[in-house]
Structure 1
Amino acid sequence: MCFGLMAWSTVAWTTEFERLSDDRVILVADEGTAVGYLVLLVPAAAEDPVDLLRIAVAPEVRRTGVGGQLLTAGLRRCAGRTVLLEVAAGNESAGALYRGFGFEEISRRKGYYAGGEDAVIMRLENAA
């Protein structure tokens, strides 16, 4: 599991796939087996921001570029658009990945996650 106790349940995944449409995109990295995934919510109206809902990489292939490849592919899907995401303040590796792609912190949600951890809201203007 990529997120331990925070992983999506089978019901959550089933719901996600049932809701697939032009506005919901799931990308899966595959090297013989699924090693990561990215979920975007892409509104039809170009002026509305894209939400990066989830990105995960299997522990055994972290820091090998899979996350960057998923993020690159996802950002290509929403080129020229604003992309928003939230990340746990303590998730330094994810924060570094996002900053490396040009995301900037725009606000925080205090105590948003279980255990009272803050959510950092990040934005990327004009995704490439």
Structure 2
Amino acid sequence: MRPAIRPAVVDDLPGIVELDQVCFGREAWSSVAWEGEFERLAEDRVILVADEGAVAGYVVLLVPPVQVDVVELLRIAVAPDERRTGIGRQLMTAALARCAGRTVLLEVAAGNESAIGLYGGFGFDEISRRRGYYAGGEDAVIMRWRETA
């Protein structure tokens, strides 16, 4: 059964923080940072979760006011035991549906081939790199998506 993709609510915060720790380790956002993301939901953040009775995945978008035509995909994660089940694709589909008429930018570690493949499958193209951006000197790949008619 496919999980429900829905807007995050404050009750999801502990599950999101835990999943972020599991998925990103040293690069995980602190619980204080996540609280800040939730405080910005009314302003410019969209957080969607894959709900299977627990948070199986999430995606975070920075969606500026309508007069700005660029959205930034800040974070996406899927629980390790739920990977390769389509949850990442469901989250991306739901996130991009909220970005109609806008360009979406993201950055990803150059060595994260599965994520780069997922993004490429949605039509994201590499537009630049930040050399040595991540710990250990790994490059960040900057990718862009534009809705096609």
TM-score tier by shorter-chain length is over 0.9
Q: How far apart are the structure 2 equivalents of 1:9 and 1:57?
A: 18
TM-score, normalization by structure 2: 0.81
Counterparts of 1:15-34 in structure 2, within 5 Å, are 15-34=36-55
The aligned residue for residue 113 of structure 1 is 134
Where 1:27 maps in the other structure, the secondary structure is: strand
> Cα distance, 1:116 vs. partner?
0.6
Where 1:3 maps in the other structure, the secondary structure is: helix
Aligned CA-pair RMSD: 1.4
> Cα distance, 1:89 vs. partner?
0.2
Q: How far apart are the structure 2 equivalents of 1:5 and 1:27?
A: 23
Unaligned runs of 5+ in 2: 1-21
Matched, 1:56 2:77: yes
**Residues matched between the structures, number:** 128
Matched, 1:68 2:89: yes
> Cα distance, 1:22 vs. partner?
4.4
Counterparts of 1:27-106 in structure 2, within 5 Å, are 27-106=48-127
Larger helix share, 1 or 2: 2
Where 2:147 maps in the other structure, the secondary structure is: coil
TM-score, normalization by structure 1: 0.94
Runs of 4+ in 1 over 4 A off after TM superposition: none
CA deviations on 1:54-84 (whole Å, 9 max, x unpaired) are 0000101011000000000000011121000
How has the CA–CA distance of structure 1 residues 116 and 23 changed in structure 2, closer, same or farther, with 3 Å as cutoff?
same
How has the CA–CA distance of structure 1 residues 51 and 105 changed in structure 2, closer, same or farther, with 3 Å as cutoff?
same
Where 2:23 maps in the other structure, the secondary structure is: coil
CA deviations on 1:79-119 (whole Å, 9 max, x unpaired) are 12100000000000000000000000000000001111000
CA contact (8 A) 1:27 1:70 kept: yes
Amino acid at match of 2:132: G
Unaligned runs of 5+ in 1: none
Where 2:144 maps in the other structure, the secondary structure is: strand
Identity %: 73
How has the CA–CA distance of structure 1 residues 50 and 30 changed in structure 2, closer, same or farther, with 3 Å as cutoff?
same
